[in-house]
Structure 1
Amino acid sequence: MRKSWISPRKKWVRNLCIAIWLSVVVLSVVTIHLGPGVRTVTSVPPVNALAVRIMGGPYRVAEYRYERLSRPARTVVRSDTGAVVATFTDGARSVVLAGPARDFPVSRSGSSVVRGEAWVRLLPQPWKEGAEGGKWFRAWLDAALADRSPDVLATARRHWAGDAPKISDSRLIKLVYGLSRKISVAVIKSDTGGVVISTEAREQSLLQPGDLLLFAPDAKGSGPIDRVGVYLGRDTGGRHRVLFRGSAPAVAQGGRLFQGFRVAKRI
């Protein structure tokens, strides 16, 4: 009786040891061959205004992850690896999406460019918290991430910096963002028309490509708005660039343009 009870137990223990040993061997082989690419994502990069630059593709995945952030209130969409693929701001139609890298020359010589993976497109309606649960959302996001037609930035580049007729800023806003004339005029007024991104301390780190920057004529930032430009992002020298009609100057801290900054809006 004693012998018949002990043998099966020893056999079970031996099989368990073999199974554990094989598991260790398999894990070691996987680690050696696949390296650091095989890991559980326990943390993700911080999200700033240009966080879409961390996304290297593919841009469409089986499942997305959603994260709520503030200043301004927004929903960030991440891929299953934690990379940011889209940013939706509450109350705004403009969306920053991950896409192929591209260059926007910002000097006549072409020596300075804004280079990045940010593409800006417009939602059918202003974003609201929880809108990712709508039936329309997933189809829209997949299509927008795959779209390579001219976006807001490319359209703004053509109208603002090209040889287009000298028309009013409100007309240009209407053309680029598809707004009515009335709303375009309201956007230029500092107290209406769009999500205000920064009214104090000129926090450029809160900006994202596609934002409208509004400037007053004097260094104190007082008086009526007389210049409106589209924020492109940082150039290869790290300077913030805003696209005006015929030029894309740097908004350098302490400079006249910086001093005249009134407000940034996301529409």
Structure 2
Amino acid sequence: MNQPRGADVREGMARAELRTEPSRQGSRRALRTCVVLAVIGLSGFGVVQFARQQTTGEAEAAPSATAVAIKDGGTAAPVAPVADGPRFDRLENPGRTVVRDPSGAVVATFTDGARTVALTGPARTFTEPRFTEATITTTTWVRLAPQAWAPGAEKAAWFGPWFEQARKDTGPDVFAVAMQYADGAKEEADAEGLRFRGDAIFGPVAPSGYARLEQSDFLDYLGVTYSFPDTGRKAPKPAHTGALDCSGFARMVYGYRLGYPLLGTNDPGPGLPRRAWAIAERGPGVALIPNTRARVTDYDALQPGDLVFFEVEGGEDELDHVGIFVGIDSAGHYRFMSSRERANGPTFGDLGGTSLLDDGGMYSRGWRAARRI
């Protein structure tokens, strides 16, 4: 489910001639991002998706002490099986189904109208030492269900087989895939030689020589022509090879890598639109926090994997930045990951503004909306 999509599953996409990676202009982000996968106990942070549920007495699931291998390296405690039949509880605001094991521990959360699923699994710690001292330790694994959730969907034919497999899966989820484009992430190509992962820049240096250009979508990073259901074939911009802007990063992670449908325009449709404002206002899923053009402080509405939207560039009052909420960090702050110019690519660090929703910094003041897709 989380493997790179080769030509046999890239419907309608024509491979362009492979291009060499552009040279890194300006300061090169050289230090490798570390992803530490360790056998550790559950902590009070990194399980924000259950923050609301905890107020109603819902508990976290404790991992077993027996280690299992995780793809891409590392070990972690395995997920306890849901034996003797799971329990399905309905909660509101937003409408969702919470799955519990026989002990009452929460093992998954499915949100009505959304495909993203928060599963409780082995604890992982993500670090990005070049850009922040904060770390993210989380027991949440965010995956995509084959279709949007609806009340009672646990009785659908697809649910049982998918849920059983998802609970066992230790392959890359949303967070692991996102980190494959962060500072120092190693490159990897598919069987056809297409580089589908590796440290991404934000964009090429502008002709003026002091800023980096936006408009770097996932297809620009890849250097391939892609066929969208609403616009047909679109060619990449050669100068943007290896680059992802903020919405291009979200589309790479959720769309190209994990299979969420993608659109070529900002019009409403069955997939993720191109720009941040369009994803927030017209995208699929659930608008957890609609944009009222005022600063948002509803932290408990979030669970890891949600998209968060900002107005930080000044000028027109339009949502101009999007990130992926990753949870509560080691300092107790609500942290997100996004691709930005000053860090020259995807980061959950603090270069070019702290990646926090609750510290009063630039992004905290500019936070306007959230969507669960």
Match of 2:160 in 1: 138
Match of 2:303 in 1: 208
Distance 1:255 1:104, change over 3 A: same
Q: Distance in 2 between matches of 1:217 and 1:232?
A: 20
Structure 1 residue ranges without an equivalent (≥5): 1-45
The answer to whether the 8 A contact 1:170-1:181 is kept is no
The alignment partner of 1:250 has SS state of: coil
Distance 1:247 1:173, change over 3 A: closer
Structure 1 residue runs of 4 or more that deviate by more than 3 Å after TM superposition: 49-53
CA drift at 1:76: 0.4
Match of 1:42 in 2: none
Q: Distance in 1 between matches of 2:88 and 2:275?
A: 29
Tell me whether 1:155 sits opposite 2:177 in the alignment.
yes
**1:185 alignment partner AA:** P
Distance 1:114 1:222, change over 3 A: farther
The alignment partner of 2:358 has SS state of: coil
**2:253 alignment partner AA:** V
Match of 1:185 in 2: 273
Tell me whether 1:259 sits opposite 2:365 in the alignment.
yes
**2:310 alignment partner AA:** F
Match of 2:289 in 1: 198
Deviations 1:70-126 (A, max 9, x none): 111110000000000000000100000011000011442774211021000001111
Match of 1:34 in 2: none
Tell me whether 1:174 sits opposite 2:174 in the alignment.
no
CA drift at 1:196: 1.1
Q: Distance in 2 between matches of 1:218 and 1:53?
A: 40
Say which of 142, 150, 166 aligns to 1:120: 142
Match of 1:88 in 2: 110
- Structure ID, larger Rg: 1
Match of 1:77 in 2: 99
Q: Distance in 1 between matches of 2:50 and 2:347?
A: 29
Distance 1:107 1:175, change over 3 A: same
RMSD over aligned CA atoms reads 2.6
The alignment partner of 2:356 has SS state of: coil
Distance 1:54 1:215, change over 3 A: same
- Kindly, what percent of the aligned residue pairs are identical? 37
Instruction: Point out the more displaced range, 66-75 or 153-162.
Output: 153-162
The alignment partner of 1:103 has SS state of: strand
Q: What is the TM-score normalised by the length of structure 2?
A: 0.54
More helix per residue: 1 or 2? 1
Distance 1:171 1:132, change over 3 A: same
**2:169 alignment partner AA:** D
**2:303 alignment partner AA:** Q
Structure 2 residue ranges without an equivalent (≥5): 1-48, 64-78, 186-198, 201-241, 256-260, 265-270, 340-345, 349-354
Match of 1:24 in 2: none
How many pairs are equivalent? 221
CA drift at 1:173: 2.3
